[in-house]
Amino acid sequence: MERTQNDIMKKASFFFLAFIISAALISVQTGKSQNSQKKLIKALKFGYSFVPSQTVEIKGESHSVQSFFMLNTEVSNMHYKEYLSHLKNNVSEEVYQAALPDFSRWELLDKSINFGEAYFNAPAFREYPVVNVSQEQALRYCEWLTTVLQEKTADYTLRVRLPLRAEFLSATNNSLTSPYAWKESSLTNKKGEQLCNYREIPSSQLTRDGKTGGIVEVKNNEKVQHLTAPVKSYSPNEYGLYNLNGNVAEWIIEPNVAMGGDWTSLGYDVRNESEKLVEGAHPTVGFRVVITYKAN
């Protein structure tokens, strides 16, 4: 009986020691993971937010999403110009021309609205989201940025790309209490101020353009057109991400799909899950990038 009790005590001691070692290893691994993230954040310097692993709901189904980094703003005209500058100096003229925004697409909104190259090239719009860039052009931008960021760190293998639908919803925190990227279920704060860039117009001030069929706002018998806002407008969400709702709809990785609504959308159409199907470039569509990574 005594020998049996000794055996039991030894086994208990062994399992307890194994538990302690296992817990210590998990702690070390967690610490390494946190240090790894901090090093990567330092390598990226600024402009990216960390979105932790989580589960999101898409059409009633649960999807597990691994952690990733996301550009905390939409890609701006300035960001895209840096890309074009690289192409101008390093590749053929044909490739450079293929990367330019399609300035003629402004006419898709209203033929009276034609910024031409001014929206992209005027200094006043450098911090505004780039638009009139197709999904294919956005994917090529991601390929270029992958190379640029990879050169900044040898500790990780990075991939820059457009977000998956589940990642876009993760970035909004896929809130069950709010259809938007903030906690409130309203599009305005307590002061009545808009929380994102969308078309908030009393129905009494709406009319339909007789030539284009588009809806426009009328004040004092003058048509008022809406436009994008700077990429750091309004307040960021809890992950530090700006304008996930409204401003410009954002390309995701699914073909011809942009999410989140835009500045021409009414309130219901700037929900987290709002999507629009778009072929080619469009003046209401931009993009932001995500970064996935693994330690080398």
Please report whether residue 16 resides in a domain.
no
Question: Could you tell me the pTM of the whole model?
Answer: 0.80
Q: What is the pLDDT along the chain (296 residues), one digit of tens a residue?
A: 445 555 544 444 444 444 433 444 434 344 445 565 666 766 666 799 999 999 898 888 899 999 999 999 999 999 999 999 999 999 999 999 999 999 999 988 876 667 889 999 999 999 999 999 999 999 999 999 999 999 888 888 999 999 999 999 999 976 566 899 988 888 988 888 889 999 876 555 556 666 555 556 665 555 555 789 999 999 999 999 999 999 999 999 999 999 999 999 988 999 999 999 999 999 999 999 999 988 88
Give phi and psi for 62, each to the nearest 5: -85, 135
Q: Which domain holds residue 129?
A: 45-295
Please report whether residue 21 resides in a domain.
no
For residue 285, give the amino acid letter: V
Please report whether residue 2 resides in a domain.
no
Beta bridge partners of 250: 259, 286
Q: How far apart are alpha carbons 285 and 263 in whole angstroms?
A: 10
Give 49-74 pLDDT, tens digit per residue: 999 999 898 888 899 999 999 999 99
Q: How far apart are alpha carbons 264 and 198 in whole angstroms?
A: 6
Query: What pLDDT shows up at residue 226?
Result: 74
For residue 3, give the amino acid letter: R
- Can you say whether the dihedral through the CA atoms of 65, 71, 72, 74 is positive or negative? negative
CATH of the domain at 196: 3.90.1580.10
Please report whether residue 263 resides in a domain.
yes
Structural domain count of the chain:
1
Give 279-291 pLDDT, tens digit per residue: 999 999 999 999 9
Please report whether residue 90 resides in a domain.
yes
DSSP-assigned letter for residue 275: E
Please report whether residue 24 resides in a domain.
no
Query: What pLDDT shows up at residue 224?
Result: 52
3-class SS letters over 243-261: CCCECCEEECCCCCEEECC
Q: 6: which residues sit within 8 A by CB, 6+ positions away?
A: none
